[in-house]
Homo-oligomer: A and B are copies of this chain.
Amino acid sequence: MQPFVFHNPTQIIFGAGSVDRVGKTVARHGRTALLVYGRDSIHRSGLYSRVTSALQQAGVSWIDHGGVKSNPVLSHSRAGVDKAKASQVDLILAVGGGSVLDEAKAIAAGACYDGDLWDFFSDRATVQQALPLVTVLTLAATGSEMNSGGVITNEETQQKFNLSSPHLFPRVSILDPVLTWTVPADYTAYSAVDAISHLLEGYFTSPDPVTPLQDRFVEGLVKTIMESTEQILAQPAHAEARATMMWAATWALNGLSTAGIGAYQFPNHMIEHSLSALYDIAHGAGLAIVLPAWMAWQADQHPAKFARFAREVLGCQLSDDRQCALAAARGLKDWFGAIGSPVTLSEAGIPANDIPAIAANAVMLAQKWRMPAYSAEVIANILQRAA
């Protein structure tokens, strides 16, 4: 184990019906909220009126900031910052999935900053303060509800970059698994891929070979996510599986799985961010394409951990580490395909001819994240395995 600092102050209110606690929860943090949400579904499902009724009852007023896109964009985030400043809101209330939460974090930071919002993403400024953030989660996937990071795409520069600050932990996240019962099969699958990827980035890139506590934590979570996803796909309103999946996805990126494993990396996210910056593809779908390719590329070089994963999680019984490591990559790719995700670029409609352009885009993030081993050539090599 390696030294670390762990501090996760987010309060989680979990359970069926917990969304109705949003009014009193928000009221503890202010009287005027910027209400950040996505497209029409929040109106169609009745969630918008449920949340705003609770706000009204608690004496909280709100300014609407709807229309957040999946893979949220800078221009819309800037508009949110303008609204938050103009109305001098006390806090941000995000109602939605990871995209809505990420944009809400950007707005929470931008509302307390005089410069341009992109400064935080391009490392020209660090977040010194932020408005309080309360979230109501509608999709179990990104873990944004219990961490301090967010990702925004700058449409002008085609950069999908992240910001991170201890000021951006949500004060409270309300996790009502019933809100996820209507998530369709494709997004259920992409969400599972996303959560599994969050766990495996650290698991496979940790420099420390002796982290049994974190390894078992990750293996147990991945098994649980796979099991729950299969149950949900068979029965979308499976209450237990939806609840388990929701809490599992939160654990997958709240700092627990990586505390003590040393300086790990996010190579699959680095590459995938270029896919979803350049193409209209769900983040989880992009990861389902990248992760098995990266694993196959990496398994050759460091087979031991991949072999362990294959044995502990996928039930691989091969005795040879290298064969077992390759079986891990193949097994996960097969499972991603079986739950309905694309697993190759061509299945996602991305031509192999684009690989050099994708790699060139990804290198920007490799540099920002200080991963010099990932040259454009290396990234293209990995992507070739996903053609």
Q: How far is the CA of A354 from the CA of B354 in the complex (A)?
A: 80
Beyond A210-B240, A213-B244, whether A5 also contacts B1 by CB under 8 A is: no
Q: How far is the CA of A220 from the CA of B216 in the complex (A)?
A: 5
Query: Quick one: given A4-B14, A216-B220, A217-B220, are A260 and B247 in contact (CB under 8 Å)?
Result: yes
A39 partner residues in chain B, CB cutoff 8 A: none
Of B8, B12, B210, B213, which is within 8 A of A220 by CB? Answer: B213
0/1 string, A203-245, CB within 8 A of B gives 1: 0000000111100110111011001100000000000100110
Within 8 Å of chain B (Cβ to Cβ): is A349?
A: no
Q: How far is the CB of A127 from chain B (nearest CB, A)?
A: 18
Q: A211's closest neighbor in chain B, by CB?
A: B244
Which of A1, A4, A8, A227 has its CB near the most chain B CB atoms (within 10 A)?
A1
Q: How far is the CB of A57 from chain B (nearest CB, A)?
A: 20
CA of A5 to CA of B221, assembled, Å? 20
- Would you list the 8 A-B pairs with minimal beta carbon distance, nearest first? A3-B15, A216-B220, A7-B11, A1-B243, A6-B12, A9-B9, A210-B240, A213-B224
Q: Are B15 and A11 in contact (CB under 8 A)?
A: no
Q: Are B1 and A12 in contact (CB under 8 A)?
A: no
Residues of A at under 8 Å CB distance from B? 1-18, 177, 210-213, 216-217, 219-221, 223-224, 227-228, 240, 243-244, 247-248, 251, 256, 259-260
B13, A5: Cβ atoms under 8 Å? yes
Q: How far is the CB of A7 from chain B (nearest CB, A)?
A: 4
When C-beta atoms are compared, the residue in chain B nearest to A15 turns out to be: B3
CB distance from A370 to the nearest CB of B (A): 22
Q: Which residues of B contact A244 (CB under 8 A)?
A: 1, 210-213
Which residue of chain B has the shortest Cβ distance to A219 in the bound complex?
B220
- Nearest residue (CB) in B for A176 is B3
* Residue among A10, A213, A221, A247 with most chain B CB within 10 A: A213
Please report the C-alpha to C-alpha distance between residue A211 and residue B244 in the assembled complex, in whole angstroms: 8
A247 with B5, Cβ < 8 A, contacts A212-B227, A213-B220 known: no
- Chain B residues whose CB sits within 8 angstroms of the CB of A2 once the complex forms: 15
Residues of B within 8 A of A10 (CB): 7
Given A6-B14, A259-B14, residue A216 in contact with residue B212 (CB < 8 A): no
12 contacts between A and B (CB under 8 A): A1-B244, A4-B14, A4-B15, A6-B14, A14-B260, A210-B244, A212-B227, A213-B221, A213-B247, A213-B248, A219-B220, A243-B260
